[in-house]
Amino acid sequence: MSAELADTIDLQMARCAQELKDFLEHLPRYLRRGKSQEALLQCTRIVEEMPAALPEVSWSTSWAKVSASLQDLRRALDSGAAKAYVLARYDEATRAYEQWLAARKAASPTGEHAVVRLGSLKPLIAARTTFHIASGVAAFLLYQFALTRWQSEIVLLALLALFVALETTRRFSTRWNHFLAGKLFHGIARPREYYRVNSSTLYLLALVLVTPVFSRAAVLSGVLILAFGDPAAAWLGKRYGRLKLYRSKSLVGSLAFVGVGTLVAGAYLLAFCPEVSVGRRLAAAGLASIAGAVAELFSGRKLDDNLAIPIASTLVASLLV
C-alpha cells in the first residue's frame, strides 16, 4: 500500500472515528433525555459512511468489530428495545472502539497519522462524577481530622496493594475482568478501563507518592482540586467547549477547572491554615489549580490525569503552604 493511499485512508478513518467518538460519548445523555430517534439517525449515518479498512493492515479486524458492534447498536435503537438492551450494545461498541484505537495507535507508534491523535472515550457518567467527588471528600475528611501522615500512608499502601492485586488477576481471566470492569464497577468505569489500568489505582499511587513528602495542606489542596476541578472541566467543557486548546480539551473546560479548583482549595486553605498569610494561601490555591489544569490539559492515553493532577497540584501548592 502506497504512503499516499495510507494517508488518504487514515484521514477518512480520522473523520469517521471522530464522529463515532462524539456519538458514543453523548449517547447515554440522548437516552436519558428520550432522544432515541435522534440517536438512531446519527448512528445510521455513521454506519453508512464508515470506510472499510484494507485487509492487509494490522488493525482491519478490530475496525470490522467496530463496524459490526455499531450495526448491532443501530438495530437495537431501531427496534425500540429496552434501554438496558441498548446500553448493553452500547458497551460492546465502546469496547470495540477502544480495542481498535489501541491497535491503530500501535501500528503508528511515532504518531504521524491523523487517527493517532484521537483520544479514548470519556462519556459523562453522573455516577462516576459522584464517586470521584466522594472519594476526594473522604480522603480530605480522613486525613484532615482522623489520620496522621503515616497512618494515612499505611491505609493508602494497603488499598493500593488491593487494587494492584485486582489489576493483576483480571489480566489472567477474561471472566474475572468482565465481572470487575463490566459488572461490579460498570457504573463508574470508562470503556478504556476494561483493558487498561483503572484511574482509581493511579489515583492511589499518586497519593502514596505525595503524602510522605509534602505538607498536609499541600496534599489536601491537590486532592480537592482533583475532586472538584476535574469534573467541572469535563461537564462544562463537553457542553460549552467550542474552542479547543489541545486535542479534545477546551478553553472552557480549563477555565472551569482553574475556577472551581481555586475556590475549593482556597476555601480549605483559608479555613485550616491560619499560620500562613492570606496572600500565600490564595496564591497557593490559584497556582496549584493552574498546575492541575495544565496537567489535565496534556494528560491522555500515556499519562492519566488522576495520576498527573494531584502530583502537579500538590507540588506547586507545597511551594507556598
* Band of pLDDT at residue 126, cut at 50, 70 and 90: confident
Task: Answer for the pair 283, 247: CB distance below 8 angstroms, yes or no.
Answer: no
Residues 209 and 82 in one domain: no
Residues 152 and 109 in one domain: no
pLDDT for res 110: 53
C-alpha cell, 166: 485486582
Mean pLDDT of 142-158: 97
Question: Burial letters for 245-265: b for 16+ Cβ neighbours within 10 Å, e otherwise?
Answer: beebbbebbbbbbbbbbbbbb
* Band of pLDDT at residue 120, cut at 50, 70 and 90: confident
pLDDT at 278 over 60: yes
* Domain termination site, one of 72, 87, 117: 117
Residues 25 and 60 in one domain: yes
* 156: nearest Cα among 223, 90, 111: 223
Q: Which helix (H) or strand (E) holds 33?
A: none
Q: What is the C-alpha separation between 100 and 17, in angstroms, rounded?
A: 10
What rounded mean pLDDT belongs to the chain? Answer: 89
* 186: nearest Cα among 308, 28, 77, 26: 28
pLDDT for res 17: 85
pLDDT at 301 over 90: no
Name the residue with cell 494492584: 164
Residues 141 and 263 in one domain: yes
pLDDT at 186 over 90: no
pLDDT for res 219: 98
* Domain termination site, one of 117, 149, 168: 117
Q: What is the C-alpha separation between 51 and 54, in angstroms, rounded?
A: 9
* Band of pLDDT at residue 183, cut at 50, 70 and 90: confident
pLDDT for res 117: 63
Residues 48 and 93 in one domain: yes
Residues in the chain: 321
Give the side-chain half-sphere CA count within 13 A for 319.
Answer: 13
* 51: nearest Cα among 5, 9, 103, 96: 9
Residue 284, by phi and psi: left (phi above 0), alpha (psi -120 to 50) or beta? alpha
Count the domains in the chain.
2
pLDDT for res 2: 53
Q: What is the C-alpha separation between 104 and 98, in angstroms, rounded?
A: 10
pLDDT for res 141: 98
Residues 269 and 227 in one domain: yes
pLDDT for res 187: 83
Q: What's the burial of 122, exposed, middle or buried (CB within 10 Å: 0-12/13-18/19+)? A: middle
pLDDT for res 191: 87
Sequential DSSP letters for 50-66 = PPPPPTTSTTHHHHHHH
pLDDT, tens only, 18-42? 889 989 988 988 888 888 899 999 9
CA angle 247, 248, 254 (to 5 degrees): 100
Name the residue with cell 466522594: 134
Alpha-helical runs (H) found in the chain: 3-32, 36-49, 60-79, 83-107, 126-141, 149-170, 174-177, 199-210, 216-224, 230-240, 251-272, 278-298, 305-317
Q: What is the C-alpha separation between 102 and 293, in angstroms, rounded?
A: 26
Mean pLDDT of 199-212: 96
Q: What is the C-alpha separation between 157 and 246, in angstroms, rounded?
A: 34
Assign 110 to helix, strand or coil. Answer: coil
C-alpha cell, 53: 479498512
Beta-bridged to residue 54, according to DSSP, are: none
pLDDT for res 125: 82
**What range does the domain containing 85 cover?**
3-117
pLDDT for res 116: 52
pLDDT for res 123: 82
Residues 71 and 19 in one domain: yes
pLDDT for res 169: 96
pLDDT at 243 over 80: yes
pLDDT for res 69: 95
| Residues contacting 239, CB < 8 A, separation 6+ | none
Q: To the nearest whole percent, how much of the chain has pLDDT over 90? A: 61
pLDDT for res 32: 84
Give 213 or 119, the one with higher predicted confidence. 213
Mean pLDDT of 161-175: 95
Residues 183 and 245 in one domain: yes
pLDDT, tens only, 52-95? 776 767 788 898 999 999 999 999 999 988 888 999 999 999 99
pLDDT, tens only, 221-242? 999 999 999 999 999 998 888 8
Residues 307 and 165 in one domain: yes
* Domain termination site, one of 95, 117, 139: 117
Residues 26 and 158 in one domain: no
Residue type, position 125, single letter: I
Mean pLDDT of 277-282: 96
Residues 28 and 147 in one domain: no
Residues 181 and 272 in one domain: yes
* 53: nearest Cα among 120, 117, 112, 103: 103
